[in-house]
Structure 1
Amino acid sequence: MTENVPEVTHGIAEYAVKADVSAAPPDVLDLARRTLVDTVGISIAARGEEAVQILQRTPGTAPGAGTSTVLPTGARADAPTAALINGTAAHALDYDDVTEQIYGHPSVVLWPAILAAGEQAGAGGRDLLDAYLIGFDVVTALAEGFALREHYGRGWHSTATLGVVAGAAAVSRLLGSDVEQTRSALGLAATMAGGSRQNFGTMTKPLHAGLAARDAVLAASLAAGGFTADPQQLESPLGYFNLYGDRTRLGGVLAALEQPWALQRHGINVKKYPACYNTQRTADATLRLVEREQLDPAEVRRIRVTLEPGGMDPLIHHRPASGLQGKFSGEYVAAAAVLDRSLGLRTFTDESVTRPEARDLVERAELTESATPPVGAPEWEYSYAVVEVETVGRGTLSERADVPRGDHRAPLTRDELEAKFRDAVDFSSTGWDADELLTRLWNIDTTSPFGGLVSV
């Protein structure tokens, strides 16, 4: 290259291969285990989702011969296929973790890729945790080379566009690839990056995560076998950051990798409710208001939800007609919270979203944005939600939420996380022993070699 551009492809590859994560602090390892528990639970919960079922009966994506576990069913498949199904399942219920640093969902790409490749390779459980830490470091570093709001605003799904490259780095670490092989894996993954947000609210949205997980495994495996890609793909004029990101920001990518433990620095947000993360504050605020005021749905004339600028970006279904669309509808989340006084996996079935009383209340709900919250202090960090309910006889009642439960600043307790896991396993109707699975997950770093989590 003639330009004086940071050698990002080499820098990430060298980090993935050589970074010493053996001394990860206990709290960092605990965070990684928490993401594993959460991701496995919601993957199992998606057993009955049509997207997952279609994948498993379609030639080319169906389980068959292989050593990697398909989490929703316990079937076996080759590693790329298992990663595809598990990644899709993990994202299918929109119940997965989030980090603001990537404007997306890191674990639904990283864990499906790592688990599938690790099981096939016979890696130890601690190796899987180390690979996750590497992948998380890389995905948040990649984000430094993006104008993420612009990238997301153009319609790209950053969960997939960033996740596939980070996943390839993580799997390369797991496979013991050298720097040159990992450079090729990154280049291969970069050419596979994609995912259009127009598909939010359909089965294709979770497929983005599944494809990214599959392609991360495929890219790393091909490169480990000698398949090549441009060794400077990410930073080159026709490469990844020029296509998706901002080449003027490349210095920030390598600088981010010089700071240890991104998972600890940035934290991870675990969803309390099975819907888009941009609805979590709305859910908290509405449920608190309903509880405090003992609000009866019959009292409600109108609901107005105000979010920060950009807060409506993923909430594209204002009058949802299916359970999937309901997960991306701030109006429905507020209406369901008023009607049901709780939000759970069964809130987002087709039957719940299309029931007449929900449709009626959604018609009387409005979503808007404002840089200044209509209630409370004008300052806010990251995001906020204000819910105002115009009532019959009691005027307008309001509640605000800036930090939702499950946010890294207000994390779920271990008991709450385990309760979510048990509910997910129960929802799947698999009959599997949730407590046994939890024991295996919490103690994964003592397992060598890793032999999968579930079997039927």
Structure 2
Amino acid sequence: MSDTESVAVTRSLAEYASSADLCDMPEDVAEIARRSLVDTVGVTIAARGDDAVGILRTTLGGELPPGDATVLTDGTLTNARTAALVNATAGHALDYDDVTDLTYGHPSVVLWPALLAAAETGRRTGRELLEAFVIGFQVQCAVASGMAVRTHYGRGWHSTATIGVLGAAAGVARLHGLDVDQTRCALGLAASMAGGSRQNFGTMTKPLHPGLAARDAVFAADLAGNGFTADPDQLESALGYFAMFGDSNDLTAVEKTLQTPWALTAEGLSVKKYACCYCTHRTADATIDLVHEDGVDAGEVRSVQLTLEPAGFDPLIHHRPTTGLQGKFSAEYVIAAALLDKRVTLATFTDDAVQRPEAQQLLRKVEVDEQERPPVGPAQWEQAYAVVQVDTARGPVTKRVDVPRGDRRAPLDRDGIEVKFRDCVEFSGSGIDADALLTQLWNFDTSTAFRGFDAVRSAGTAA
């Protein structure tokens, strides 16, 4: 037996998911979960008119399968798997959903769509839904702690999906009331469903990754609950999940993370201020600060030097973007747009905005580099940094940002979350009453059966 196989990871995760007592959940943990729900629902609704969401709906057919789970973009009711697929795809379509450093991905956009659909269909309580999210997030963090996530990501895997499907499967299993053995099978099934290639970043397939992960998490738990089998030790076995996806694995860290209370506060969630890859946010903040604090004007820029930490450009694969989707993964374009428009908004990432001649000309003035030691400021940094150095007609100006706005270390308060939410609802053109929906979202975790959000269904009916 290998060292990996000697650690009973699948059983440990299943025991935690099925048996963890969360009755003493601190209020700050619950509040992070609520904020995550508000943010995830907002960015999902904002993608109502996105082409990827429209094509997915068309492909699924005009009449979705019947069911009791709500499609958040239009209020349609369908079965849990279809709702999870559509909502998670929409939730990631604008690349505006939250992130966490440990998983190097987007945890909530897989968790909430799967859990909302399962809870609404199974008539679980709002409190049970809250606990399932906390369980699912903890499992995601535990899985991530057992592998070298940046290496996993660097090899091309989209960790949002590959790790997310396991956490969501654990959360749905919790909602279904599956026992330990059934949950082990659910995790084994989810491991066989895990996937997502980063080569598809900048296309519609990237948001489909969490869509498939959320759908498959529901499917895995449904199958396991009905007696479908999988290897009960799948994750740690020689041909299992960690052997396939991991590198430099330390499976003892999985157990340690499960025993560490409240990953939501220990690891935190970072809420996005901009609808683009989180690895561009420090760059965006630095550039916007140069515009507003140093008076830099796009017309006077001779050249720009952008320096990130080693591997900081891994997701930023589009250096000469021509579409809005590619622009979300282009540090050069984010700098150009911030200089030209003096801000970065949802409208920044349309095809027309990216194809502007002035943006294309300006982004070609940006040179990029990675360095272990930042070119300015302290040699030490945590997680990441961005240094933007602009050579202007007036001389050089420089700005460094280590902690972007909205980061877990500089979190948005409720007011900030609500401002973003209202912008998302307005952008969607859905007609949803943002105030009514916010009231329902902030107060979802009750002891009564969760039946979706009336404000979403009402707007869908009116349309």
Q: TM-score range by the shorter chain?
A: over 0.9
Q: Aligned partners of 1:296 and 1:259: how far apart in 2?
A: 48
| Partner residue in 2 for 1:183 | 184
Question: Corresponding residue for 1:409?
Answer: 409
1:10 is matched with 11
User: Which residue is 1:418 aligned to?
Assistant: 418
Q: CA deviation at 1:2?
A: 7.7
1:315 and 2:301 correspond = no
- 1:78-157 → structure 2 map (5 Å cutoff): 78-157=79-158
- 1:128-277 alignment to 2 at 5 Å? 128-246=129-247, 248-277=249-278
* Secondary structure, aligned partner of 1:304: strand
Alignment RMSD: 1.3
Going from structure 1 to structure 2, the CA distance change for 1:355 and 1:171 (only over 3 Å counts) comes to same
Distance 2:276 2:373 in 1: 25
Structure 1 residue 278 displacement after superposition: 0.3
Give the secondary-structure state (helix, strand or coil) at the position aligned to 1:430.
coil
After TM superposition, what 4+ stretches of structure 1 lie above 2 angstroms from structure 2? Answer: 1-4, 59-64
Deviates more, 1:358-367 or 1:217-226: 358-367
Alpha-carbon distance in 1 for matches of 2:447, 2:81:
22
Displacement, 1:247? 7.3
Distance, in Å, in 2 between the alignment partners of 1:142 and 1:48 is 34
Aligned to 1:288: 289
Please give the alpha-carbon distance, in whole angstroms, between the structure 1 residues aligned to 2:190 and 2:256.
22
Name the counterpart of 1:28: 29
Unaligned stretches of 5+ in structure 1? none
- Tell me whether 444-453 or 287-296 shows the greater mean CA deviation: 444-453
- Asked if structure 2 preserves the Cα contact closer than 8 Å seen for 1:56 and 1:62, the reply is no
- 1:428 equivalenced with 2:428 (yes/no): yes
Corresponding letter in the other structure for 1:258: Q
Tell me if the contact between 1:99 and 1:268 (Cα under 8 Å) persists in the aligned partners: yes
The 1:236–1:326 alpha-carbon spacing in structure 2 relative to 1, beyond 3 Å, is same
Equivalent position SS for 1:390 = strand
How far apart are 1:62 and its partner, in Å?
A: 6.5
Distance in 1 of aligned mates of 2:11 and 2:359: 53
What are the superposed Cα offsets for residues 11-30 of structure 1, whole Å, 9 maximum, x if unpaired? 10010000011211000000
Q: CA deviation at 1:71?
A: 0.7
Q: 1:64: Cα distance to partner?
A: 3.4
CA–CA separation in structure 2 for the residues paired with 1:303 and 1:118: 49
Pair 1:61–1:10, CA change in 2 (3 A):
farther
Cα deviation per residue 1:248-283 (whole Å; 9 max; x = unaligned)?
411111111011100011111111111100000001
Give the CA deviation at 1:145.
1.5
The number of aligned residues is 455
8 A Cα contact 2:84 2:113, kept in partner: yes
State the alpha-carbon separation in 2 of the partners of residues 355 and 129 from structure 1. Answer: 44
TM-score, normalised on structure 2? 0.96
Is the alpha carbon distance of 1:248 and 1:297 closer, same or farther for their aligned partners in structure 2, counting shifts above 3 Å? closer
Deviation at 1:372, TM superposition (A): 1.3
1:389-422 deviation line (CA, Å, top 9, x unaligned): 1111x11111110000100110012111100000
Q: Hey, what does 1:350 align to over in structure 2?
A: 351
Please tell me whether the aligned partners of residues 322 and 349 of structure 1 are also in contact (alpha carbons under 8 angstroms).
Answer: yes
> CA deviation digits over 1:284-307, x for unaligned, max 9?
100011001222211111111110
Shift of 1:63: 2.7
TM-score (norm 1): 0.98
1:303-348 CA distance string (max 9 Å, x none): 1111011100000000111000000000011111110111110111
* Equivalent-residue separation in structure 1 for 2:151 and 2:102 (angstroms): 14
Encode CA deviations 1:343-370: one digit per residue, 9 max, x unaligned.
1101111111111111110111122111
Q: Percent identity of the aligned residues?
A: 61
2: CA distance, partners of 1:221 / 1:98: 27
Partner of 2:163: helix, strand, or coil? helix
Residue pairs, 1:344-423, within 5 angstroms:
344-392=345-393, 394-423=394-423
1:296 maps to a residue whose letter is D
Deviation, structure 1 residue 374: 1.2
Give me the whole-angstrom Cα distance separating, in 2, the residues matched to 1:376 and 1:427.
39
Give me the whole-angstrom Cα distance separating, in 1, the residues matched to 2:328 and 2:2: 48
